[in-house]
Structure 1
Amino acid sequence: MTNGHVTWLVSPLGYQSITKRCPSCEVKKLFFPAGTFRVNAQKKTLDVWNIYKCEKCDYTWNIDIFSRVKTGKLDPELHQRFIHNDLEEVRRYAYDYPLLKRNQAELGPLPDYEIKGPSPYAFNDSRILHITIEFEQAIAVRFISLLTRKLCLNRRQVVQLIEQRALLDVTVLEINRKLKGRRSLRLDLQRLHALDIPLTTSSAPAVTI
């Protein structure tokens, strides 16, 4: 028997929304990135905004990315990505939580996410599976939600794994905490299979890869 190593990458689907009162709808609405930047050049300075649009109408709101930055101090490649509305940059700034906070943006609901990486049940020749959880973006997800999804178990069953020392480096108290950065843990596959816990198909959504 050998030890295996896997990485689970938590990747949000779509964009992080923000919520604010829409003057057109006259009520609070969710705003999502429109997929475009606004770049305004004045002499030797630039202003750059990420444009957000109301979920119900065409009203837009600009999130300030750069204000009065000297043209020579902005990376030329980044400048071109702004001009050409590079969607990777749109996505990156949509998850720039310090930037959103500086703009006093109120966050909307956490977007759904997928967990990329092999299932632990695919490893038949390993004793201990070393698992590293990585985040593509710094979204805050409850530890227990990640575990139930990827292990295809419910909360009670995950707690049983911890108590029976099948799930290592994790305590029952911390599974309610939110993660948004790297976390490592181990899974004793021999003990997991010995416990013979039935999988819950409802805990295995299609977005789990």
Structure 2
Amino acid sequence: MSGLSRIRWAIAPTTTPRPLINCNRCGTVKAYRCSEKFRVNANGKRIDVWLIYRCIDCDNSWNFGILERCNRRDIEPARLAALESNDPALARRHAFDAVALRGRVERVEEFPDVAVDKQRLGDRRKSATGLELQLGLEMPTSLRLDRLLANELGISRSRLQALVERRLLVVDPDGAKTLRKPARAGTTIRIDLAGEADRQAIIAAAGG
């Protein structure tokens, strides 16, 4: 495929996963949201750290364990300072660890909404007849790749499938089967739009 417009998509989930917990105030199972606040408890040289969650209805708290009876000497000073200062980036990283959350509770709600920052790689190519999209993810997302492409390119998922069947859309690695799986960092999508009447609109929507 010649005449590619190459674009990098930096994808950031916008809503943290929510554990579903039996709230002793509400008397039923409720979703809990991350407060982005840590609780740090020091007992001599031992430190416990939790990320605090709040019931979305009554604000009851639930603590998600991060460190348990950890020796202060085993914690990097920068990390300890970040925990003690409620560093938003560190709280966000732990809050998006759905795997760790599932180790503590049976059910976790995940949300597919994302923000996509689009950066063109190289000069704008007015003669471009195709796209190369390189995906980077700040955190894992549950958003399927085909939904991401349809949302950001302004085309239907059925049209994406038609492009696959005509061998005009290629996903690397692992092929087109990954379209129905969550978007992953390191994925590259190439789309040949030479025969599409609206190719310039699609390229512009992609950030090209």
Q: TM-score range by the shorter chain?
A: 0.7 to 0.9
Give the distance between the partners of 1:8 and 1:50, measured in 2 at CA.
Answer: 30
Alignment partner of 1:43 is 2:44: yes
1:51-130 superposed matches below 5 A: 51-104=52-105, 106-118=107-119, 123-130=125-132
Task: Note if contact 1:65-1:99 (Cα within 8 Å) is conserved in structure 2.
Answer: no
Give the distance between the partners of 1:15 and 1:73, measured in 2 at CA.
Answer: 28
1:126-165 superposed matches below 5 A: 126-165=128-167
Please, what TM-score do these two structures have when normalized by structure 1? 0.83
SS in 1 for 2:86: coil
Give the distance between the partners of 2:99 and 2:144, measured in 1 at CA.
Answer: 20
Give the distance between the partners of 2:153 and 2:109, measured in 1 at CA.
Answer: 28
Q: CA deviation at 1:108?
A: 1.2
Counting matched residue pairs gives 200
Q: CA deviation at 1:37?
A: 0.5
Please, what TM-score do these two structures have when normalized by structure 2? 0.83
Q: Do the aligned partners of residues 76 and 50 (structure 1) sit closer, same or farther apart at CA in structure 2, a change above 3 Å counting?
A: same
Gaps of 5+ in 1: none
Task: Name the counterpart of 2:12.
Answer: 11
Alignment partner of 1:182 is 2:186: yes
Task: Note if contact 2:46-2:69 (Cα within 8 Å) is conserved in structure 1.
Answer: yes
Greater mean deviation of Cα atoms: 47-56 or 144-153: 144-153
Report the identity percentage: 24
Greater mean deviation of Cα atoms: 122-131 or 148-157: 122-131
Task: Name the counterpart of 1:23.
Answer: 24
